[in-house]
């Protein structure tokens, strides 16, 4: 463990030993990205013509394939806080949220571009921030064979901003939109719900990773929930199975919250839905911890957001073909698609009510 | 002409009449983007499978084609200032800088994704900012048949941030990298140089668009230079000709400044260069105005940046096939590629010196 004053000394040394321009950073990121293609069997090698180092990246096309592309903007103090997220986890999350979008299309992630803006202060005094950020980014990218092929670097007056772009690929006609759900399709969700939102609440109350609480047996659960918020796992494997095997009729990832994202899916599909509270796969640590902390597990699971699980619909005839687990992650049936006139509703036993979209919005009316 | 107090009143009315969530904005941007495909002959229609409205956009691929993709991050008070750039010009520029990158690859721009972050204050009190921004963006996009297919919206604590992603297409092997220049190739530049940097200096000294200076005959020149800074024209037509007809051996767009971008091109090509000051196509208004304003036209043209002209190299046997003008824009031969050992140099008559890269950097050593 490095103490704070040692850290400061190390940073200052680093500052003087390794002054660098943005071109130095681009050079080192480019080298790191080039090392990503070291696997001879890597299919990207045959697709990528030009990576980092030119005005734009260049990728081969193939008839019968589709390109899937998405972008996510992350802003300091709105989408993340420096004091609660280590830089490496921020790098992880910046990529994870975009890979989650690619997974939600049933596509295979291939490439990434990353724009990052930091203040002069961060650049000069906390140069390890940028390095650790990229390290977290590349660790996740390497796990899914995603190659960094471009990006941009800017200075900002104060706050850090990140824009993460991911590109994927699927066979023609195999990408899964939000709009294909039909009455009678069953609604599934991967993994568990509410953990990321619970983690955010704990962070807001002052909990931090790496705090030591030897007297508190719950601490492992707290850290688990914080990591659900700071280090979401994109469900890349599930997305691929559902897309390639054409099992899902519609899909979306849960970023805003189950209630909002189910509304998005139903709106695009021109359909309604009925989900059952008893079926919701609420994160176990959420159930264990939340009662004692005045948090409602059901509300966190319904409206919390940022779980980055996949919410998808399956025609009844495909349900038997659904795998039990992919990459160790199970799925749970939580309800059924209905006609649009039914609305989006939720049942608890015999009681049924409208499920209003109460997930995350940056700007509300 | 609406007076300021009328403007304020109109804004306040608008605020109360049209409160909106980010989903309202996404809906209206989506409608505007859908209207872009109204031309039946539009080739994008056959390429685009899914635009705005899903987790990601989906585009068809075709064997023998290449996808070209780039991203540019623009941050308020670093890359632009609210008090000097009307929102519509900012929307124009956000797209223009990315189209310029696509042009510099010799590719045809096809699609765009746009991430934008604004403060709650801008959202609530200056809602016309976002509308005008998108209007400027779409005006340029329509001119080049570029379809907006995705993006993201976030809140920021204070400053506006924009990330502009552009995707283009070229026939296999026709995209033009920075790395193909060989000794003996001739160096060309489109349009003229130094205007954008001169415009920036004038803005920094307080000049603004729409100021009236009836006593000052130079005022039209001042506005022209300010527009070179705020409303750059991407050289899309030239990029296409040079790529499709395989005339250029290497190409880059001048964003950082001629000196820096020539260095980038030479570094990637493993080559040197000699350019001649007397050949540089310095912007006419720059020459007319700058002497009296203690600005050096040559320094602005060499190091100024943001002209977004194309800098490219042409093997001698291709020079005769170069068009004189494309879209009304001419090109000028400014020098010749040399062996790497020659370095990157500049000649004024018989005097020759090293051309150091002094263009824009966000972070310097």
What is the token pair recorded at B185?
Answer: 């190739």
Q: Is residue A365 part of a domain?
A: no
Residue B43, SS3?
Answer: coil
Instruction: Tell me how far apart the alpha carbons of residues B61 and B65 are, in angstroms, rounded to a whole number.
Output: 7
Q: Is B56 on the interface with A (CB under 8 A)?
A: yes
Q: How far is B40 from chain A (nearest CA, A)?
A: 22
If asked whether residues B195 and B77 sit together in one domain, one would say no
* Helix (DSSP H) and strand (DSSP E) numbers for chain A: 12, 14
The DSSP call for residue B19 is -
Burial class (CB in 10 A: 0-12, 13-18, 19+), B140: buried
If asked whether residues B126 and B199 sit together in one domain, one would say no
Q: Is residue A38 part of a domain?
A: yes
Of B144, B171, B198, the one marking the end of a domain is: B171
> Other CB atoms closer than 10 Å to residue A311's CB: what's the count?
25
Query: Are A80 and A122 a contacting pair, CB within 8 Å?
Result: no
Q: Is B116 on the interface with A (CB under 8 A)?
A: yes
If asked whether residues A214 and A149 sit together in one domain, one would say no
If asked whether residues B232 and B347 sit together in one domain, one would say yes
| Interfacial A residues in 251-280 facing B (CB < 8 Å) | 251-253, 268
Q: Return the pLDDT at A45.
A: 56
Q: Is residue A312 part of a domain?
A: yes
Chain A residues with CB under 8 Å of B362 CB are 22, 153-155
Tens digit of each residue's pLDDT (9 = 90 or more) over A328-342? 999 999 999 999 999
Among the partner-chain residues A20, A58, A116, the one whose CB lies closest to the CB of B105 is A58
If asked whether residues A53 and A202 sit together in one domain, one would say no
Q: Return the pLDDT at B286.
A: 92
Instruction: Tell whether ipTM is more than 0.85.
Output: yes
Helix (H) or strand (E) holding B92: helix B87-104
Q: Is A107 on the interface with B (CB under 8 A)?
A: yes
What is the token pair recorded at A364?
Answer: 């509300």
Give me the helices (H) in B105-235, please. Answer: 120-125, 127-143, 195-204, 219-230
Query: Are B52 and B26 a contacting pair, CB within 8 Å?
Result: yes
| Interfacial A residues in 6-45 facing B (CB < 8 Å) | 19-25
Q: Is residue A176 part of a domain?
A: no
> Other CB atoms closer than 10 Å to residue B83's CB: what's the count?
7
Q: Return the pLDDT at A217.
A: 78
If asked whether residues B210 and B63 sit together in one domain, one would say no
Q: Which residues of chain B have pLDDT under 70?
A: 1-19, 37-45, 364-365
Claim: this prediction has a pTM higher than 0.95:
no
If asked whether residues B124 and B39 sit together in one domain, one would say yes
Q: Is A57 on the interface with B (CB under 8 A)?
A: yes
Q: Is residue B200 part of a domain?
A: yes
The DSSP call for residue B106 is T
Q: Is residue A180 part of a domain?
A: no
Q: Is residue B307 part of a domain?
A: yes
Query: Which residue reads 């506006």 in tokens?
Result: B160
Of A52, A55, A150, which to mutate for an interface test with B (greatest number of B Cβ within 10 Å)?
A55
Tens digit of each residue's pLDDT (9 = 90 or more) over A153-164? 999 999 999 999
Give me the helices (H) in chain B, please. Answer: 4-17, 22-35, 44-47, 87-104, 120-125, 127-143, 195-204, 219-230, 236-244, 258-269, 284-290, 297-303
Chain B residues with CB under 8 Å of A107 CB are 56
Question: Tell me, what CATH number does A89's domain have?
Answer: 3.30.1330.10
Q: How many CA atoms lie within 13 A of A1 on its CB side?
A: 4
Q: Give the range of the structural domain holding residue B265, as residue numbers without chain letter.
A: 186-354
The DSSP call for residue B269 is H
Instruction: Tell me how far apart the alpha carbons of residues A209 and A228 are, in angstroms, rounded to a whole number.
Output: 12
If asked whether residues A66 and A91 sit together in one domain, one would say yes
If asked whether residues B239 and B211 sit together in one domain, one would say yes
Chain B residues with CB under 8 Å of A113 CB are 69-71, 165
Q: Return the pLDDT at A42.
A: 57
Query: Are A176 and A250 a contacting pair, CB within 8 Å?
Result: yes
Question: Tell me, what CATH number does B260's domain have?
Answer: 3.90.650.10
If asked whether residues A67 and A201 sit together in one domain, one would say no
Of A171, A203, A230, the one marking the end of a domain is: A171
Is the Cα dihedral A207, A212, A217, A221 positive or negative? positive
If asked whether residues A73 and A144 sit together in one domain, one would say yes
Instruction: Tell me how far apart the alpha carbons of residues B257 and B189 are, in angstroms, rounded to a whole number.
Output: 12
Nearest to B148 by CA among B171, B170, B167: B167
Q: How many domains does chain A have?
A: 2
If asked whether residues B141 and B212 sit together in one domain, one would say no
Q: Which residue of A has its CA nearest to B167?
A: A56
Interface A–B counts its CB contacts (< 8 A) at: 256
Of A171, A202, A236, the one marking the end of a domain is: A171
Q: Is residue B98 part of a domain?
A: yes
Q: How far is A313 from chain B (nearest CA, A)?
A: 15
**pLDDT (tens digit, 0 to 9) for every residue of chain A, 365 residues total?**
334 444 444 443 344 334 578 888 888 899 999 988 654 455 555 789 999 999 999 999 999 999 999 999 999 999 999 999 999 999 999 999 999 999 999 999 999 999 999 999 999 888 799 999 999 999 999 999 999 999 999 999 999 999 999 999 999 999 999 999 999 999 999 999 999 999 999 999 999 998 877 777 788 899 999 999 999 999 999 999 999 999 999 999 999 999 999 999 999 999 999 999 999 999 999 998 877 777 899 999 999 999 999 999 999 999 999 999 999 999 999 999 999 999 999 999 999 999 999 877 777 65
Interchain CB distance below 8 Å, A56 and B64? no
Give me the helices (H) in B162-217, please. Answer: 195-204
Interchain CB distance below 8 Å, A66 and B70? no
> Other CB atoms closer than 10 Å to residue A43's CB: what's the count?
12
């Amino acid at each position: 463990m490095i103490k704070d004053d040692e850290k400061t000394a190390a940073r200052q040394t680093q500052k003087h030993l390794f002054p660098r321009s943005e071109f130095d950073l681009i050079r080192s990121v480019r080298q790191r990205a080039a090392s990503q293609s070291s696997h001879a069997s890597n299919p990207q090698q045959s697709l990528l013509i030009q990576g980092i180092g030119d005005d734009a990246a260049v990728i081969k096309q193939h008839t019968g394939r589709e390109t899937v592309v998405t972008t996510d903007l992350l802003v300091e103090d709105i989408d993340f806080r420096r004091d609660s997220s280590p830089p490496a986890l921020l790098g992880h999350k910046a990529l994870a949220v975009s890979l989650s979008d690619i997974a939600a299309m049933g596509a295979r992630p291939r490439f990434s571009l990353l724009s990052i803006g930091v203040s002069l202060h961060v650049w000069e005094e906390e140069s390890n921030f940028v390095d650790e950020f990229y390290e977290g980014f590349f660790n996740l990218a390497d796990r899914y064979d995603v190659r960094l092929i471009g990006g941009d670097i800017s200075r900002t007056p104060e706050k850090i901003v990140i824009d993460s772009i991911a590109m994927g690929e699927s066979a023609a006609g195999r990408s899964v939109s939000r709009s294909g759900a039909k009455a009678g399709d069953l609604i599934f969700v991967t993994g568990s719900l509410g953990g990321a939102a619970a983690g955010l609440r704990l962070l807001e109350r002052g909990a931090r990773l790496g705090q030591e609480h030897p007297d508190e047996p719950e601490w492992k659960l707290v850290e688990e929930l914080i990591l659900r918020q700071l280090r979401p796992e994109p469900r890349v494997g599930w997305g691929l199975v559902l897309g390639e095997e054409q099992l899902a009729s519609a899909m979306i990832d849960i970023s805003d919250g189950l209630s909002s994202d189910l509304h998005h899916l139903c709106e695009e599909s021109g359909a309604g839905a009925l989900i059952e509270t008893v079926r919701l796969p609420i994160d176990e640590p959420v159930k264990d911890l939340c009662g004692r902390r005045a948090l409602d597990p059901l509300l966190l699971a319904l409206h919390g957001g940022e779980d980055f699980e996949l919410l998808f619909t399956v025609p009844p005839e495909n349900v038997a073909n659904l795998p039990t687990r992919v990459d160790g992650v199970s799925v749970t049936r939580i309800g059924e698609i209905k006609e649009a006139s039914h609305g989006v509703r939720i049942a608890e036993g015999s009681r049924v009510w409208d499920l209003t979209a109460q997930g995350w919005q940056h700007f509300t009316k």
